[in-house]
Amino acid sequence: MFCYQCEETINGTGCTNGGACGKKEDVAVLQDKLIYALKGYAFCNMKAREKNVDDKTFGPFVMEALFATLTNVNFDEDYFKKSIADTIARRDAVCHKVCGNAGCSAALSGASKKMADAATISLDQLMAKNPADVSVLATENVDVRSLRETLVYGLKGLAAYGIHACILGSENEEIYKFIEKALVSTFDDTLSVDQMVGLLLECGSNGVTVMAMLDAANTGAYGNPAPTAVKTGVGKNPGILISGHDLKDLEMLLEQTKGTGVDVYTHGEMLPAHAYPAFQKYTNLVGNYGNAWWQQKDEFEKFNGPILMTTNCLVPPKESYANRLFTTNMVGFSDKKTGLKLKNIPVKDGKKDFSEIIALAKKCPAPTPLEDGTVTTGFAHNATLSVADKVIDAVKGGQIKKFVVMAGCDGRHKERVYYTEFAQALPKDTVILTAGCAKYRYNKLDLGDIGGIPRVLDAGQCNDCYSLVVIALELAKAFGLENVNDLPVVYNIAWYEQKACLVLLALLSLNVQNIVLGPVLPACVSPNVLDVLIKTFNISKNSDVDADMKRLITI
Ligand code: SF4
Ligand code: SF3
């Protein structure tokens, strides 16, 4: 196996003998084969689109499949075997509409050898195929590999956010067309470096569109988030812990637990849900338990009750709580060695039945307390811009010197203490704008406020980085600036998985300059590609707190 899609990749170069995330070789190879099959399906669907006979369910299916291959989503061989078989069957069905009895040769003329293979390979042949032929390393040129893989990782992020919007009834055919074109491009040997860089930026601008779509879907369904202090302590009732990013799942769980005596706690990326008016109506939504995803082994054990993982980040579970850990959507886990397979709650006619989880919760003790305080969230664009006048006055009056965007992901590497130290060392006239699970490194610190404006403004989940973009663009307008880079905003972003890759591409597509990225640069970015990013966007890696404070804040 070879995987270098996330920040924790072994030795900063690639996982070759099992993943740092717990992904085993068998699953890694199946994920590679799924991506290979998706490229063939995309090619055939593109040909079908030209004749207006394309598969109308291509978009949601491909997004779900791509999302499943994102870091810490699915560790289950059976899931990927089925997904590969479904992809080939869908490809064949659409191919038949294009080529019928005439065969594929006309459609394939001009396609690369790889693409022709991916568009015609049978399921048996694909399953028997040498893993090296479908691996990331099968693209020999390191720069081409870098550009193609970065694009695929951006697509995974796009798919993740696209699926959430789709679940809430928001779709955009243009996004599907882009996913199709981008997948096909990764087997096109005729593209220049400029064209491949162009596709990365196009992926970023599609990222802005899809995040905006998800924002509209979330706020349309659940209202505009408002600043909210969320309890971090626990009560005496048994509880269910819900983690991940899927707000629709939270809504269904809250409805079904109403009046049962079972409390619902959020975990990780579900924390910002407390700020939506629609969820504040539920008295059974009682607080947030724990921190970012990587601490779940300890926290899930102590929670004592059932846990529902709606999306990433799932860590291979400990035996102590595996029997009360459930998955839904495309999250999955199985282990051939121990025979453990986590139960997945399916969707039927748009609904999920959580009665098994609720019944189990009733038999479990209340959660063991981890802490007892509050954490504030809910500073999405609507809430933050409603106090825009106050913010603008504070900037003009010199009380706020700089906004520091510290969005992104958290992770287990101990170097990430940097983000806590950086937040603590920031001068008192700076405000942190955050979104994503990166916030857990500093959202419980008492950093105070500036004239009533908290010094940490949490816009929400990683997809709510869109809110940070809206806030920046609106501030630029208010200050009469044409260039968003002229604002007193600096970027010190932490990444871990591929949604963060998409967010980064989204910022670059908006021409945001001088982004500082850490705790390491993506292994998929080759030295030459990095050079392009430095020359075009002046992107750089974070260093130590003192040096970064000097270059970002003092100067
Ligand atoms: Fe390694 Fe990250 Fe890939 Fe897991 S997702 S195998 S940790 S690079
Ligand atoms: Fe976190 Fe996984 Fe990325 Fe949504 S939950 S930000 S890492």
Give pLDDT tens digits for 345-360: 999 998 999 999 999 9
Could you give the 3-state DSSP secondary structure of residue 524? coil
The span from the CA of 354 to the CA of 346, in Å, is: 10
**How far apart are the C-alpha atoms of 439 and 458, rounded to whole Å?**
8
Q: Look up residue 365 and give its two tokens.
A: 């003790």
Mapped onto helix, strand or coil, the DSSP state of residue 53 is: coil
Do the beta carbons of residue 179 and residue 42 sit within 8 Å? yes
- The structure tokens listed for 335 are 């282990």
Is the pLDDT at 148 greater than 90? The verdict is yes
Q: What angle in degrees, to the nearest 10, is found between the helix axes of 58-68 and 25-50?
A: 160
Rounded CA gap, 550 and 275, in Å? 35
Do strands 285-288 and 263-266 pair parallel, antiparallel, or not at all (unpaired)? parallel
For ligand 2, whether the C-beta of 244 sits within 6 Å is: no
SS (H, E, C) 301-353: HHHCCCEEECCCCCCCCCHHHHCCEEEECCCEEEECCCCEECEEECEECCEEC
Q: State in Å: Cα 134 to ligand 1 middle.
A: 17
Which of 437, 216, 447 has its CA nearest to residue 315?
437
User: Whole-angstrom Cα distance, residue 465 to residue 211?
Assistant: 8
Q: pLDDT band for position 101 (50/70/90)?
A: confident
In which band, very low, low, confident or very high, does the pLDDT at 102 lie, cut at 50, 70 and 90? confident
Alpha carbon distance 51, 455 (integer Å) = 55
| Cβ-proximal residues to 105 (8 Å cutoff; 6+ apart), any chain | none
Beta bridge partners of 491: 405
Atom of ligand 2 nearest to the CA of 463: 4
**The pLDDT of residue 326:** 98
Q: How many residues does the chain have?
A: 555
Report how far ligand 2's centroid is from the alpha carbon of 72 (Å). Answer: 9
Residue type present at position 214? L
pLDDT for 106 equals: 86
Mean pLDDT estimate for the chain: 97
DSSP assigned state of 367: P
Q: Mean of the pLDDT values across residues 427-431?
A: 97
Token pair in block for residue 530: 């990095």
Distance 179 CA to ligand 2 centre (A): 22
Residue 283 contacts residue 234 (beta carbons within 8 Å): no
Tokens standing for 202?
């196009």
Tens of pLDDT, residue by residue over 477-498, are: 999 999 999 999 999 999 999 9
CA gap 470, 551 in Å, rounded: 25
The alpha carbons of the chain give a radius of gyration, in whole angstroms, of 23
CA 214 vs. chain centroid, Å, equals 13
269 lines ligand 2 (CB under 6 A): yes
**pLDDT of 211 above 70:** yes
Residues within 6 Å of ligand 1 by CB: 3-6, 8-9, 15, 19-21, 23, 71
Instruction: State which of 1, 2, 4 you would mutate to test the pocket of ligand 1, scoring each by most atoms of that ligand within 8 A of its C-beta.
Output: 4
Using the predicted structure, report yes or no on whether residue 503 has a pLDDT greater than 80: yes
Q: Quick one: tokens of 182?
A: 């981008």
CB 441 near ligand 2, within 6 Å? no
Residue 273 has pLDDT above 90, yes or no: yes
Cα–Cα distance for residue pair 99/547, rounded to 1 Å: 61
Ligand 1 atom closest to Cα of residue 18: 6
| Rounded Cα–Cα distance for residues 35 and 135 (Å) | 10
Q: Which residue has the tokens 């979330």?
A: 218
pLDDT at 103: 83
Dmax over CA atoms of the chain, in Å, equals 74
For residue 555, pLDDT beyond 70: no
Mean pLDDT of 41-68: 97
> What domains appear along the chain, each with residue ranges and CATH number?
1-138 (1.20.1270.20), 228-362 (3.40.50.2030), 381-552 (3.40.50.2030)
Is the Cβ atom of 497 under 6 angstroms away from ligand 2? yes
Quote the CA–CA distance of 270 and 278 in Å, as a whole number: 14
- Predicted confidence band at 267 (pLDDT cuts at 50, 70, 90)? very high
